[in-house]
Structure 1
Amino acid sequence: MTDDHSAPAWRRRTDPERRWPAALAVVVMIVLQFLLPERLTLGPRWLLPVVEVAVIAVLIAADPVRIRRDTPALRTLGLVLIALLSLGNGWSVVMLVRAIVAGHDVGGPAQLLAVGGAIYLLNVLSFAVWFWELDRGGPARRARGEDPYPDFLFAPMTSPDLAPKDWEPWFLDYLYLAFTNATAFSPTDTLPMSRWAKAIMALETAIALVIAVLVVAKAVNALP
Protein backbone atom coordinates (compact mmCIF):
# COMPACT_ATOMS: atom_id res chain seq x y z
CA MET A 1 0.00 0.00 0.00
CA THR A 2 1.21 3.51 -0.80
CA ASP A 3 -0.16 7.03 -0.53
CA ASP A 4 2.49 8.41 -2.88
CA HIS A 5 0.47 10.62 -5.25
CA SER A 6 3.22 10.39 -7.85
CA ALA A 7 2.35 6.70 -8.30
CA PRO A 8 -0.48 5.70 -10.66
CA ALA A 9 -3.87 5.37 -9.00
CA TRP A 10 -4.04 1.61 -9.38
CA ARG A 11 -0.90 1.24 -7.23
CA ARG A 12 -1.94 3.47 -4.33
CA ARG A 13 -4.84 4.02 -1.97
CA THR A 14 -7.89 5.44 -3.77
CA ASP A 15 -11.61 5.94 -3.22
CA PRO A 16 -13.54 2.66 -2.96
CA GLU A 17 -15.35 1.54 -6.09
CA ARG A 18 -19.11 1.97 -6.41
CA ARG A 19 -21.11 -1.24 -6.06
CA TRP A 20 -23.93 -0.55 -8.52
CA PRO A 21 -22.20 -1.55 -11.83
CA ALA A 22 -21.37 -5.04 -10.59
CA ALA A 23 -24.73 -5.31 -8.81
CA LEU A 24 -26.51 -4.36 -12.04
CA ALA A 25 -24.60 -7.08 -13.92
CA VAL A 26 -25.67 -9.62 -11.30
CA VAL A 27 -29.31 -8.51 -11.57
CA VAL A 28 -29.18 -8.91 -15.37
CA MET A 29 -27.78 -12.42 -14.93
CA ILE A 30 -30.53 -13.34 -12.47
CA VAL A 31 -33.21 -12.09 -14.90
CA LEU A 32 -31.65 -14.01 -17.80
CA GLN A 33 -31.51 -17.20 -15.74
CA PHE A 34 -35.19 -16.82 -14.85
CA LEU A 35 -36.16 -16.28 -18.51
CA LEU A 36 -34.37 -19.39 -19.80
CA PRO A 37 -36.49 -22.44 -20.65
CA GLU A 38 -36.90 -24.69 -17.63
CA ARG A 39 -35.27 -27.60 -19.44
CA LEU A 40 -32.01 -25.61 -19.36
CA THR A 41 -32.13 -24.59 -15.70
CA LEU A 42 -30.81 -26.35 -12.61
CA GLY A 43 -33.86 -27.44 -10.63
CA PRO A 44 -37.02 -25.32 -10.73
CA ARG A 45 -36.50 -22.17 -12.78
CA TRP A 46 -37.14 -19.92 -9.78
CA LEU A 47 -34.80 -21.69 -7.32
CA LEU A 48 -31.37 -20.25 -8.14
CA PRO A 49 -32.68 -16.73 -8.87
CA VAL A 50 -34.43 -16.59 -5.48
CA VAL A 51 -31.28 -17.69 -3.64
CA GLU A 52 -29.14 -15.26 -5.64
CA VAL A 53 -31.49 -12.33 -4.93
CA ALA A 54 -31.30 -13.10 -1.21
CA VAL A 55 -27.49 -13.18 -1.28
CA ILE A 56 -27.04 -9.96 -3.24
CA ALA A 57 -29.60 -8.24 -0.99
CA VAL A 58 -27.43 -9.09 2.03
CA LEU A 59 -24.30 -7.81 0.28
CA ILE A 60 -25.93 -4.52 -0.72
CA ALA A 61 -27.40 -4.02 2.76
CA ALA A 62 -24.01 -4.61 4.38
CA ASP A 63 -22.06 -2.31 2.03
CA PRO A 64 -24.55 -0.37 -0.10
CA VAL A 65 -22.86 2.48 -1.98
CA ARG A 66 -19.11 2.00 -2.14
CA ILE A 67 -17.28 -1.25 -1.45
CA ARG A 68 -15.41 -0.49 1.75
CA ARG A 69 -15.90 -3.57 3.93
CA ASP A 70 -13.83 -6.68 3.28
CA THR A 71 -14.68 -9.03 6.12
CA PRO A 72 -14.17 -12.77 5.58
CA ALA A 73 -17.94 -13.33 5.81
CA LEU A 74 -18.78 -10.75 3.14
CA ARG A 75 -15.92 -11.92 0.94
CA THR A 76 -17.12 -15.51 1.18
CA LEU A 77 -20.71 -14.49 0.51
CA GLY A 78 -19.66 -12.57 -2.60
CA LEU A 79 -17.74 -15.56 -3.94
CA VAL A 80 -20.69 -17.85 -3.18
CA LEU A 81 -22.97 -15.55 -5.20
CA ILE A 82 -20.66 -15.65 -8.22
CA ALA A 83 -20.28 -19.42 -7.86
CA LEU A 84 -24.08 -19.86 -7.87
CA LEU A 85 -24.41 -17.68 -10.96
CA SER A 86 -21.63 -19.63 -12.69
CA LEU A 87 -23.15 -22.96 -11.65
CA GLY A 88 -26.47 -21.99 -13.20
CA ASN A 89 -24.78 -20.79 -16.37
CA GLY A 90 -22.59 -23.90 -16.61
CA TRP A 91 -25.62 -26.14 -16.22
CA SER A 92 -27.44 -24.24 -18.98
CA VAL A 93 -24.45 -24.61 -21.31
CA VAL A 94 -24.23 -28.36 -20.68
CA MET A 95 -27.98 -28.87 -21.17
CA LEU A 96 -28.01 -26.82 -24.38
CA VAL A 97 -25.02 -28.69 -25.82
CA ARG A 98 -26.61 -32.01 -24.82
CA ALA A 99 -29.89 -31.09 -26.49
CA ILE A 100 -28.17 -30.02 -29.72
CA VAL A 101 -25.85 -33.03 -29.92
CA ALA A 102 -28.65 -35.50 -29.08
CA GLY A 103 -30.96 -33.96 -31.66
CA HIS A 104 -33.63 -32.93 -29.19
CA ASP A 105 -36.13 -30.21 -30.03
CA VAL A 106 -34.52 -26.85 -29.32
CA GLY A 107 -37.07 -24.73 -31.14
CA GLY A 108 -36.75 -22.82 -34.39
CA PRO A 109 -33.69 -20.84 -35.50
CA ALA A 110 -34.91 -17.61 -33.89
CA GLN A 111 -35.65 -19.28 -30.54
CA LEU A 112 -32.35 -21.14 -30.59
CA LEU A 113 -30.38 -17.98 -31.34
CA ALA A 114 -32.24 -16.12 -28.57
CA VAL A 115 -31.51 -18.84 -26.02
CA GLY A 116 -27.92 -19.21 -27.19
CA GLY A 117 -27.43 -15.45 -27.08
CA ALA A 118 -28.78 -15.28 -23.53
CA ILE A 119 -26.41 -18.04 -22.39
CA TYR A 120 -23.53 -16.35 -24.22
CA LEU A 121 -24.31 -13.09 -22.43
CA LEU A 122 -24.54 -14.94 -19.11
CA ASN A 123 -21.10 -16.37 -19.80
CA VAL A 124 -19.62 -12.92 -20.47
CA LEU A 125 -21.22 -11.33 -17.41
CA SER A 126 -20.31 -14.16 -15.04
CA PHE A 127 -16.64 -14.07 -16.03
CA ALA A 128 -16.60 -10.27 -15.88
CA VAL A 129 -17.72 -10.51 -12.24
CA TRP A 130 -15.13 -13.22 -11.56
CA PHE A 131 -12.35 -11.06 -13.03
CA TRP A 132 -13.55 -8.03 -11.04
CA GLU A 133 -13.88 -9.96 -7.79
CA LEU A 134 -10.53 -11.78 -7.96
CA ASP A 135 -8.08 -9.30 -9.49
CA ARG A 136 -5.60 -8.24 -6.77
CA GLY A 137 -7.86 -9.55 -4.03
CA GLY A 138 -11.07 -7.82 -5.05
CA PRO A 139 -12.37 -4.23 -5.22
CA ALA A 140 -11.89 -3.38 -1.53
CA ARG A 141 -8.25 -4.47 -1.49
CA ARG A 142 -7.57 -2.78 -4.82
CA ALA A 143 -8.86 0.49 -3.37
CA ARG A 144 -6.43 0.12 -0.48
CA GLY A 145 -3.56 -0.60 -2.86
CA GLU A 146 -2.50 -3.70 -0.93
CA ASP A 147 -1.25 -5.78 -3.87
CA PRO A 148 1.11 -4.05 -6.33
CA TYR A 149 1.13 -7.04 -8.70
CA PRO A 150 -1.89 -7.09 -11.04
CA ASP A 151 -3.50 -10.29 -12.26
CA PHE A 152 -4.59 -8.43 -15.40
CA LEU A 153 -2.36 -5.94 -17.20
CA PHE A 154 -4.60 -3.28 -18.75
CA ALA A 155 -3.35 -1.02 -21.53
CA PRO A 156 -3.24 2.17 -19.37
CA MET A 157 -0.89 0.33 -17.00
CA THR A 158 1.64 -0.24 -19.77
CA SER A 159 1.30 3.27 -21.22
CA PRO A 160 0.78 5.53 -18.17
CA ASP A 161 1.77 8.65 -20.14
CA LEU A 162 -1.31 8.12 -22.34
CA ALA A 163 -3.75 7.67 -19.45
CA PRO A 164 -5.04 10.03 -16.75
CA LYS A 165 -3.09 9.95 -13.50
CA ASP A 166 -6.19 8.82 -11.62
CA TRP A 167 -6.97 5.90 -13.97
CA GLU A 168 -7.62 2.55 -12.32
CA PRO A 169 -9.59 -0.51 -13.47
CA TRP A 170 -13.29 -0.49 -12.57
CA PHE A 171 -16.04 -2.96 -13.36
CA LEU A 172 -16.56 -1.76 -16.93
CA ASP A 173 -12.91 -2.58 -17.71
CA TYR A 174 -13.42 -6.16 -16.53
CA LEU A 175 -16.67 -6.39 -18.51
CA TYR A 176 -14.84 -5.26 -21.64
CA LEU A 177 -12.10 -7.80 -20.93
CA ALA A 178 -14.67 -10.61 -20.61
CA PHE A 179 -16.50 -9.52 -23.77
CA THR A 180 -13.41 -9.29 -25.96
CA ASN A 181 -12.04 -12.57 -24.61
CA ALA A 182 -15.32 -14.35 -25.43
CA THR A 183 -15.59 -12.69 -28.85
CA ALA A 184 -12.02 -12.87 -30.12
CA PHE A 185 -11.32 -16.19 -28.33
CA SER A 186 -8.04 -14.71 -27.10
CA PRO A 187 -6.70 -11.76 -25.08
CA THR A 188 -6.90 -8.44 -26.91
CA ASP A 189 -5.57 -5.33 -25.14
CA THR A 190 -5.44 -6.86 -21.64
CA LEU A 191 -2.98 -9.58 -20.71
CA PRO A 192 -3.43 -12.20 -17.96
CA MET A 193 -0.44 -12.11 -15.64
CA SER A 194 -1.16 -14.76 -13.01
CA ARG A 195 -1.73 -18.44 -13.66
CA TRP A 196 -5.29 -18.37 -12.34
CA ALA A 197 -6.10 -15.46 -14.67
CA LYS A 198 -4.81 -17.44 -17.65
CA ALA A 199 -6.80 -20.50 -16.61
CA ILE A 200 -10.07 -18.66 -16.10
CA MET A 201 -9.72 -16.75 -19.37
CA ALA A 202 -9.08 -20.03 -21.18
CA LEU A 203 -12.21 -21.50 -19.61
CA GLU A 204 -14.33 -18.56 -20.71
CA THR A 205 -12.97 -18.80 -24.25
CA ALA A 206 -13.70 -22.55 -24.41
CA ILE A 207 -17.31 -22.07 -23.25
CA ALA A 208 -17.88 -19.18 -25.66
CA LEU A 209 -16.43 -21.17 -28.56
CA VAL A 210 -18.66 -24.18 -27.87
CA ILE A 211 -21.78 -22.01 -27.63
CA ALA A 212 -20.99 -20.05 -30.78
CA VAL A 213 -20.09 -23.05 -32.94
CA LEU A 214 -22.92 -25.37 -31.91
CA VAL A 215 -25.70 -22.79 -31.72
CA VAL A 216 -24.86 -21.09 -35.02
CA ALA A 217 -24.39 -24.43 -36.80
CA LYS A 218 -27.69 -25.78 -35.49
CA ALA A 219 -29.54 -22.58 -36.32
CA VAL A 220 -28.17 -22.52 -39.88
CA ASN A 221 -29.13 -26.17 -40.41
CA ALA A 222 -32.64 -25.45 -39.13
CA LEU A 223 -33.25 -22.69 -41.66
CA PRO A 224 -35.79 -23.61 -44.34
Structure 2
Amino acid sequence: MTNDNRSARLRYDDGCLAAHSLNLIGDRWALLVVRELMFTPKRFQMIRAGLPGITASVLTGRLAQLRDVGVVDHDTRLGIYSLTEMGRGLLPVLEALCRWSLMAPGHDPRRFISPSALMISMRVNLIPDAAQGTDAHAGFDFGTEAFEMRLTGGTLETRPVNTPDAPFVLKGTGNTVGFTVYGAAPVELMMKEGFISAEGDLTAAQSFVDLFRLDRTA
Protein backbone atom coordinates (compact mmCIF):
# COMPACT_ATOMS: atom_id res chain seq x y z
CA MET A 1 0.00 0.00 0.00
CA THR A 2 1.03 3.61 -0.34
CA ASN A 3 0.77 6.48 2.13
CA ASP A 4 -1.15 8.95 -0.05
CA ASN A 5 -4.69 8.05 1.09
CA ARG A 6 -5.11 5.52 -1.70
CA SER A 7 -6.51 2.25 -0.48
CA ALA A 8 -7.10 -1.24 -1.76
CA ARG A 9 -8.70 -4.31 -0.25
CA LEU A 10 -5.98 -6.46 1.29
CA ARG A 11 -6.36 -9.84 -0.39
CA TYR A 12 -2.96 -11.20 0.53
CA ASP A 13 -1.16 -10.51 3.80
CA ASP A 14 2.13 -11.15 2.05
CA GLY A 15 5.23 -9.03 1.48
CA CYS A 16 5.86 -10.39 -2.02
CA LEU A 17 5.80 -7.70 -4.71
CA ALA A 18 3.56 -9.89 -6.87
CA ALA A 19 1.12 -10.17 -3.97
CA HIS A 20 1.21 -6.38 -3.56
CA SER A 21 0.35 -5.99 -7.26
CA LEU A 22 -2.55 -8.38 -6.90
CA ASN A 23 -3.78 -6.45 -3.88
CA LEU A 24 -4.06 -3.43 -6.21
CA ILE A 25 -5.28 -4.92 -9.50
CA GLY A 26 -6.21 -8.49 -8.65
CA ASP A 27 -9.99 -8.22 -8.65
CA ARG A 28 -11.96 -9.91 -11.40
CA TRP A 29 -12.31 -7.63 -14.44
CA ALA A 30 -9.69 -5.14 -13.25
CA LEU A 31 -6.99 -5.92 -15.82
CA LEU A 32 -9.59 -6.19 -18.57
CA VAL A 33 -10.83 -2.70 -17.70
CA VAL A 34 -7.22 -1.56 -18.06
CA ARG A 35 -7.05 -3.34 -21.42
CA GLU A 36 -10.04 -1.41 -22.72
CA LEU A 37 -8.41 1.90 -21.77
CA MET A 38 -4.91 1.04 -22.98
CA PHE A 39 -5.04 2.92 -26.26
CA THR A 40 -7.52 5.70 -25.64
CA PRO A 41 -9.72 7.31 -22.95
CA LYS A 42 -13.34 6.18 -22.96
CA ARG A 43 -16.69 6.86 -21.40
CA PHE A 44 -18.35 4.33 -19.16
CA GLN A 45 -20.62 2.74 -21.77
CA MET A 46 -17.81 2.36 -24.28
CA ILE A 47 -15.70 0.55 -21.69
CA ARG A 48 -18.66 -1.69 -20.91
CA ALA A 49 -19.15 -2.47 -24.61
CA GLY A 50 -15.71 -4.06 -24.65
CA LEU A 51 -16.50 -6.26 -21.64
CA PRO A 52 -19.55 -8.44 -22.31
CA GLY A 53 -20.86 -9.93 -19.11
CA ILE A 54 -19.78 -7.17 -16.74
CA THR A 55 -22.61 -5.43 -14.92
CA ALA A 56 -22.82 -1.68 -14.54
CA SER A 57 -22.38 -1.95 -10.79
CA VAL A 58 -19.29 -4.14 -11.05
CA LEU A 59 -17.71 -1.85 -13.65
CA THR A 60 -18.43 1.16 -11.44
CA GLY A 61 -16.71 -0.61 -8.57
CA ARG A 62 -13.66 -1.63 -10.61
CA LEU A 63 -13.20 1.85 -12.01
CA ALA A 64 -13.39 3.30 -8.51
CA GLN A 65 -10.83 0.80 -7.22
CA LEU A 66 -8.46 1.47 -10.11
CA ARG A 67 -8.85 5.19 -9.57
CA ASP A 68 -8.13 4.84 -5.85
CA VAL A 69 -4.84 3.02 -6.47
CA GLY A 70 -3.67 5.46 -9.15
CA VAL A 71 -4.23 3.34 -12.27
CA VAL A 72 -7.19 5.26 -13.73
CA ASP A 73 -8.07 8.96 -13.91
CA HIS A 74 -11.69 10.12 -14.14
CA ASP A 75 -12.64 13.45 -15.68
CA THR A 76 -15.96 13.92 -13.94
CA ARG A 77 -16.88 16.94 -16.04
CA LEU A 78 -16.55 15.07 -19.33
CA GLY A 79 -17.32 11.62 -17.93
CA ILE A 80 -14.14 10.18 -19.44
CA TYR A 81 -11.86 7.55 -17.93
CA SER A 82 -8.20 7.30 -18.88
CA LEU A 83 -5.11 5.47 -17.72
CA THR A 84 -2.44 7.17 -15.69
CA GLU A 85 1.25 6.57 -16.39
CA MET A 86 1.03 3.81 -13.79
CA GLY A 87 -1.90 2.30 -15.68
CA ARG A 88 -0.16 2.45 -19.05
CA GLY A 89 2.73 0.62 -17.42
CA LEU A 90 0.50 -2.47 -17.30
CA LEU A 91 0.72 -3.01 -21.07
CA PRO A 92 3.72 -5.38 -20.71
CA VAL A 93 1.74 -7.27 -18.06
CA LEU A 94 -1.17 -7.78 -20.45
CA GLU A 95 1.22 -8.79 -23.21
CA ALA A 96 2.96 -11.28 -20.92
CA LEU A 97 -0.40 -12.81 -20.00
CA CYS A 98 -1.20 -13.17 -23.71
CA ARG A 99 2.13 -14.93 -24.32
CA TRP A 100 1.62 -17.22 -21.34
CA SER A 101 -1.88 -18.13 -22.51
CA LEU A 102 -0.42 -19.47 -25.76
CA MET A 103 0.95 -22.36 -23.67
CA ALA A 104 -2.33 -22.94 -21.85
CA PRO A 105 -5.02 -25.21 -23.32
CA GLY A 106 -8.64 -24.25 -23.75
CA HIS A 107 -8.50 -20.86 -25.47
CA ASP A 108 -11.59 -20.36 -27.66
CA PRO A 109 -11.13 -17.55 -30.22
CA ARG A 110 -14.82 -17.76 -31.10
CA ARG A 111 -15.65 -15.96 -27.87
CA PHE A 112 -15.98 -12.17 -27.96
CA ILE A 113 -12.78 -10.28 -28.76
CA SER A 114 -12.78 -6.52 -28.30
CA PRO A 115 -10.87 -4.25 -30.70
CA SER A 116 -8.41 -3.31 -27.94
CA ALA A 117 -7.87 -6.98 -27.11
CA LEU A 118 -7.05 -7.73 -30.75
CA MET A 119 -4.63 -4.81 -31.00
CA ILE A 120 -2.73 -6.06 -27.94
CA SER A 121 -2.81 -9.60 -29.27
CA MET A 122 -1.28 -8.54 -32.56
CA ARG A 123 1.59 -6.81 -30.75
CA VAL A 124 2.29 -10.13 -29.05
CA ASN A 125 1.92 -12.38 -32.09
CA LEU A 126 4.03 -10.48 -34.59
CA ILE A 127 6.53 -12.91 -36.16
CA PRO A 128 9.92 -11.36 -35.28
CA ASP A 129 11.90 -12.80 -38.19
CA ALA A 130 9.27 -11.76 -40.74
CA ALA A 131 8.98 -8.27 -39.24
CA GLN A 132 12.68 -7.48 -39.32
CA GLY A 133 13.48 -5.07 -42.13
CA THR A 134 9.80 -4.63 -42.97
CA ASP A 135 8.01 -1.29 -42.92
CA ALA A 136 4.22 -1.35 -43.06
CA HIS A 137 1.24 0.88 -42.29
CA ALA A 138 -2.19 -0.62 -41.62
CA GLY A 139 -5.62 0.69 -40.73
CA PHE A 140 -8.41 -1.00 -38.78
CA ASP A 141 -12.01 0.19 -38.49
CA PHE A 142 -14.28 -1.54 -35.97
CA GLY A 143 -17.14 0.94 -36.27
CA THR A 144 -17.02 2.41 -32.78
CA GLU A 145 -13.21 2.32 -32.65
CA ALA A 146 -10.44 2.68 -35.21
CA PHE A 147 -6.68 2.24 -35.13
CA GLU A 148 -3.56 2.55 -37.20
CA MET A 149 -0.54 0.29 -36.88
CA ARG A 150 2.95 1.14 -38.06
CA LEU A 151 5.69 -1.44 -38.32
CA THR A 152 9.16 0.04 -38.45
CA GLY A 153 12.39 -1.84 -37.90
CA GLY A 154 10.61 -4.77 -36.33
CA THR A 155 8.71 -2.58 -33.85
CA LEU A 156 4.93 -2.37 -34.02
CA GLU A 157 3.22 0.77 -32.75
CA THR A 158 -0.55 1.12 -32.39
CA ARG A 159 -2.53 4.33 -32.01
CA PRO A 160 -6.22 5.17 -31.95
CA VAL A 161 -7.60 7.38 -34.73
CA ASN A 162 -10.95 8.78 -35.74
CA THR A 163 -10.58 7.63 -39.35
CA PRO A 164 -7.71 5.42 -40.50
CA ASP A 165 -5.49 6.94 -43.17
CA ALA A 166 -3.39 4.02 -44.35
CA PRO A 167 -2.62 2.13 -47.58
CA PHE A 168 -5.33 -0.34 -46.61
CA VAL A 169 -8.06 -0.55 -43.99
CA LEU A 170 -9.61 -3.76 -42.66
CA LYS A 171 -13.17 -3.41 -41.37
CA GLY A 172 -15.12 -5.78 -39.17
CA THR A 173 -15.44 -6.89 -35.57
CA GLY A 174 -12.62 -7.87 -33.26
CA ASN A 175 -13.45 -11.51 -33.99
CA THR A 176 -13.75 -11.32 -37.78
CA VAL A 177 -10.64 -9.19 -38.19
CA GLY A 178 -8.86 -11.53 -35.78
CA PHE A 179 -9.86 -14.54 -37.89
CA THR A 180 -8.52 -12.70 -40.92
CA VAL A 181 -5.20 -11.86 -39.27
CA TYR A 182 -4.55 -15.29 -37.75
CA GLY A 183 -6.47 -17.65 -40.01
CA ALA A 184 -5.30 -19.47 -43.09
CA ALA A 185 -7.91 -17.97 -45.44
CA PRO A 186 -6.68 -15.13 -47.69
CA VAL A 187 -7.95 -11.60 -47.12
CA GLU A 188 -9.86 -11.60 -50.40
CA LEU A 189 -11.69 -14.82 -49.47
CA MET A 190 -12.64 -13.38 -46.08
CA MET A 191 -14.07 -10.40 -47.93
CA LYS A 192 -15.89 -12.60 -50.44
CA GLU A 193 -17.47 -14.62 -47.63
CA GLY A 194 -18.61 -11.44 -45.92
CA PHE A 195 -16.55 -11.72 -42.75
CA ILE A 196 -14.79 -8.40 -43.30
CA SER A 197 -14.66 -5.54 -45.75
CA ALA A 198 -11.51 -3.78 -46.84
CA GLU A 199 -10.35 -0.72 -48.67
CA GLY A 200 -7.11 0.07 -50.43
CA ASP A 201 -4.18 -2.12 -51.41
CA LEU A 202 -5.25 -5.71 -50.77
CA THR A 203 -1.83 -7.06 -51.70
CA ALA A 204 -0.31 -4.94 -48.96
CA ALA A 205 -3.08 -6.08 -46.60
CA GLN A 206 -2.26 -9.73 -47.27
CA SER A 207 1.46 -9.14 -46.78
CA PHE A 208 0.69 -7.44 -43.47
CA VAL A 209 -1.54 -10.15 -42.00
CA ASP A 210 1.06 -12.74 -43.03
CA LEU A 211 3.36 -11.17 -40.41
CA PHE A 212 1.23 -12.54 -37.54
CA ARG A 213 0.77 -16.03 -36.14
CA LEU A 214 -0.87 -17.55 -33.07
CA ASP A 215 2.05 -19.85 -32.21
CA ARG A 216 0.93 -22.26 -29.51
CA THR A 217 4.30 -23.98 -29.47
CA ALA A 218 6.15 -20.78 -28.50
Q: Aligning the two structures, in what range does the TM-score lie when normalised by the shorter sequence?
A: 0.3 to 0.5
TM-score scaled by length of structure 1: 0.33
Specify which structure has the bigger relative contact order, considering alpha-carbon pairs within 8 angstroms and separated by 6 or more residues.
Answer: 1
Structure having the larger proportion of residues in strand: 2
TM-score scaled by length of structure 2: 0.33
